[in-house]
Structure 1
Amino acid sequence: MVDLKEQFDSFCKEKNAIDLTRGKPSAEQLTFSEDLDGILDGNFIQDGIDVRNYGEIKGLPSARKLGAELLDYSEEFVLASSNSSLTLMGNLLSAFLFNGSGDAPWKELETISIICPVPGYDRHFALCEKLGIKMIKVPLTGDGPDMNIVEDLVRNDESIKAIWCNPKHSNPTGETYSHDTVKRIANLPLIGAPDFIVLWDNAYAVHDFANSKQLSNIQDISQELNTFDNVATFGSTSKITFAGGGIAFLGASDKLMTIFLDYFSKFNFSPDKVNQARHVRFLKDKKGIEAHMKKLATLIKPKFELVNKYLNSLPEGLASWTKPTGGYFVSFDSKLGQASKIFDLCKAAGLNLTPVGSAFPYRRDQEDSNIRIAPTYVSIEELDKAMQIFVCCVKLADEIEKN
């Protein structure tokens, strides 16, 4: 205890300011995309379209093709937008609130609920909370959400209209949904409300840094089950090129796309086609995306290996954590009731983490055990110091509780 306290006090005196709060690309990663700048070289014609002007609400044909290759979708069902897939998600939910996803606008119903696998993506939960949508949490299993619980809920609660899914390298657990899970998710509209929507946020579709499980194709499976109208797929280049300056994509059937555009087109004349043209010329196609991601993996993989090395140094039984093969996060679980103390100790020592509870609806982790580690943004040297602090604080929190 004394040695741990001395080490902790030493970290506090160093005046560290290390940020592991968000899954952001590092500056070094972003340099791999610097050729985007100036790539048009005065040529603003793409697909026979002057990209400087209005029009093409669904995006440039070549950008839609790029999105189709990223999402593993048919090009005809893909919309290419501006930089934020989260904006597309928010607009789709708003379209359902005002126009409905089938029968009636959601705002006319007494209660609207969405199933939220946990731990999950805090921005999904923030959207629901802002729009007044009730969130029902369901635990993840390592192969996706516990589908026995999900199916029971969907069968018996008519207020449930959707499920959030982050199916590959899920934020924050890093898991990829199994084929059986994908098929059962695609089948949900057949056992629940006919206008039930699968919100398929495939943010990490190409973000492997080690050999990874293949994700089954949601378009193919839902078309086989005749539920394709009930699936909305999202993705973007945010963690491929520039995080704040990429392209976002929506994959949807003709029926679902019509519902979306009837709402979305009232606020948008056209996407940023100049940026779409830049990305098409820079990434080119699926092979171009894969080659680019291999470069990024050379920077990302060592950081995850470093995190795992430090966590492996913890005494057995003190914690558990995920060992992802892609994505941007490690999900760490302390002993019950210790996460908040670990967070506070880390903050005092100059290590900023995502607030405890963020990976749960309403920011409530009832077990007070989950901490999301986001290692990509900082340098390897800063990350090394961060993990020294983190491991010290995990041990110290446990010692404080014992005493």
Structure 2
Amino acid sequence: MQYSEMSKEELLTLQAELNQQYAEAKAKGLNLDMSRGKPSATQLNVSLGLLDAINASSDLKAENGTDCRNYGVLDGIPEAKKLMADMMGTTPEHIIVYGNASLNIMYDQVSRAYTHGILGNTPWGRLDKVKFLCPVPGYDRHFAITEHFGIEMINIPMSESGPDMDMVEQYVNNDETVKGIWCVPKYSNPQGFTYSDETVKRFANLKPAAKDFRIFWDNAYVIHHLYDDKQDEILDIISECEKAGNPDMVFEFASTSKVSFPGSGIAALASSEANLADIKKSLTIQTIGYDKLNQLRHVRYFKDINGLKEHMRKHAEQMRPKFEAVLEVLNTELGGLGIGSWYAPRGGYFISFDAMEGCAKEIVAKCKEAGVKLTNAGATFPYGKDPKDSNIRIAPSFPTPEEMAQAADLFVLCVKLVSVEKLLAK
């Protein structure tokens, strides 16, 4: 029976039972963290061989003869550009290989546009108004960047095929103050959706009112599948923009942060020849070159795209039981009650849960009180404000499968208790 169909007396009886269960749960003294998509120690151990990929007796030269110990090579050694291009589904001439984090590249791109402009256009910092479109729920660190620069953020609803493209086209094609959109196109954060072919093509065929409008295409989970036999695929936005006559419209980002070591991976940007030339003007001032030894280490260890894919199967073997543990508890305990909805992703790092309207903050607070830390309610929306107070991001990666089952049990208990309280308050 759905909770909304229960009488007041039935809800009061259920509330008493749930309060008793919650008191028992708090007495267990749990201390579990599901707040961020952080790989577990056992996942990090999968990549330990990377540390031995080069050593003092290794040939430390790139395939073009570059001594990777020395200065130089602004955009990455050739074999690292090829590895990252193959991972991202594009070609090496579109690639710059940076340091360890794609988030840093995204910040740089917004900062550069703000202070110096894009391809000769007016710097955003000199304009009266700058707006960014934000598919929601979305990635809190994206929103933090644009908020940091005082950029107005506009919510765009998400569906299983991607952002509401009617809204995107309306804003982008008619408002020259709209300068960008954040996208996590494959296994999106937090819902796990993958943009459909139609959505990607509509992005590529936008007709922006602003010449310096850019799609910030954060392909963070491009090879992060959970299943061998159920993998989402996505069109290459770089080639689609080229075919549509909009080669300069996209900045694509990716990294090996959750492939090798989060603190010591390699990150890359893919874009057009004109955009790359524009970026390199300031990169020559920012740096003499990124860590080529780390680039060489990654190439020697993974070898090629097939090596990357095989490596990600090892990650999936550890991630899959954790996702399935959470989803099994959600389906068993909350299915048919009408107090929440969720989606079973085929990849990525998160499960997105939508509670009854007005319940998310209280659910997160009750979980924390009983020893399970979740991402703050509202974090998946610009300014930390979920207009429905409904969405909760679950990050299953860090705890063990057994801990995840415990955390999920507590989570559904808190969902039930807060939902009953909400219904009684009505």
TM-score normalized by structure 2?
A: 0.92
Please state whether the residue corresponding to 2:107 is helix, strand or coil.
Answer: helix
Shift, 1:264, TM fit: 2.9
Q: Which of these residues, 345, 349, 367, is aligned with residue 366 of structure 2?
A: 345
* Partner in structure 1 of residue 6 of structure 2: none
Instruction: Out of 95-104 and 14-23, give the one that drifted further.
Output: 95-104
| Letter of the 1:154 counterpart | V
| Letter of the 2:312 counterpart | M
What do you get for the CA RMSD once the two structures are aligned? 1.1
| Letter of the 2:160 counterpart | G
Shift, 1:282, TM fit: 0.8
| Letter of the 2:62 counterpart | Q
* Whole-angstrom distance in 2 between the partners of 1:54 and 1:191: 40
* Partner in structure 1 of residue 76 of structure 2: 59
* Whole-angstrom distance in 2 between the partners of 1:7 and 1:238: 39
Q: Does 1:143 align with 2:157?
A: no
* Whole-angstrom distance in 1 between the partners of 2:283 and 2:350: 32
* Whole-angstrom distance in 2 between the partners of 1:198 and 1:252: 10
Q: Does 1:36 align with 2:50?
A: yes
Q: Within 5 Å, give how 1:301-380 maps onto structure 2.
A: 301-312=320-331, 313-316=333-336, 317-380=338-401
Shift, 1:315, TM fit: 4.6
* Whole-angstrom distance in 2 between the partners of 1:192 and 1:286: 38
- Whether the 8 Å CA contact 2:32–2:407 is kept in 1: the answer is yes
* Whole-angstrom distance in 2 between the partners of 1:147 and 1:225: 16
Q: Does 1:16 align with 2:37?
A: no
- For each residue in 1:286-319, what CA deviation from the matched residue of structure 2 results, as whole angstroms up to 9, or x when unmatched? 1001101111111111111111101112152110
* Partner in structure 1 of residue 61 of structure 2: 45
* Partner in structure 1 of residue 17 of structure 2: 3
Shift, 1:281, TM fit: 0.7
| Letter of the 2:288 counterpart | F
- Whether the 8 Å CA contact 1:334–1:369 is kept in 2: the answer is yes
Shift, 1:97, TM fit: 1.1
- Whether the 8 Å CA contact 2:182–2:215 is kept in 1: the answer is yes
| Letter of the 1:32 counterpart | V
Q: Does 1:134 align with 2:177?
A: no
- For each residue in 1:30-59, what CA deviation from the matched residue of structure 2 results, as whole angstroms up to 9, or x when unmatched? 111000112212222222222111111101
* Whole-angstrom distance in 2 between the partners of 1:363 and 1:67: 33
The size of the alignment, in residue pairs, is 402
* Whole-angstrom distance in 2 between the partners of 1:196 and 1:272: 31
- For each residue in 1:83-130, what CA deviation from the matched residue of structure 2 results, as whole angstroms up to 9, or x when unmatched? 000000111111111221242111111111111100001010000011
| Letter of the 1:151 counterpart | E
* Whole-angstrom distance in 1 between the partners of 2:43 and 2:314: 9
* Partner in structure 2 of residue 156 of structure 1: 174
Shift, 1:155, TM fit: 2.5
Please state whether the residue corresponding to 1:100 is helix, strand or coil.
Answer: coil
Q: Which of these residues, 99, 118, 140, is aligned with residue 101 of structure 1?
A: 118
Shift, 1:193, TM fit: 1.7
* Partner in structure 1 of residue 265 of structure 2: 246
Shift, 1:147, TM fit: 0.3
* Whole-angstrom distance in 2 between the partners of 1:192 and 1:140: 23
| Letter of the 1:309 counterpart | E
| Letter of the 1:59 counterpart | G
Shift, 1:266, TM fit: 1.7
- Whether the 8 Å CA contact 2:187–2:348 is kept in 1: the answer is yes
TM-score normalized by structure 1?
A: 0.98
* Partner in structure 1 of residue 94 of structure 2: 77
Q: Which of these residues, 272, 279, 282, is aligned with residue 298 of structure 2?
A: 279
Q: Does 1:261 align with 2:280?
A: yes
* Partner in structure 1 of residue 402 of structure 2: 381
Percent of residue pairs identical: 43
- Whether the 8 Å CA contact 1:91–1:264 is kept in 2: the answer is no
- Whether the 8 Å CA contact 1:169–1:326 is kept in 2: the answer is yes
* Whole-angstrom distance in 1 between the partners of 2:323 and 2:352: 12
5+ unaligned residues in a row in structure 2: which ranges? Answer: 1-14
5+ unaligned residues in a row in structure 1: which ranges? Answer: none
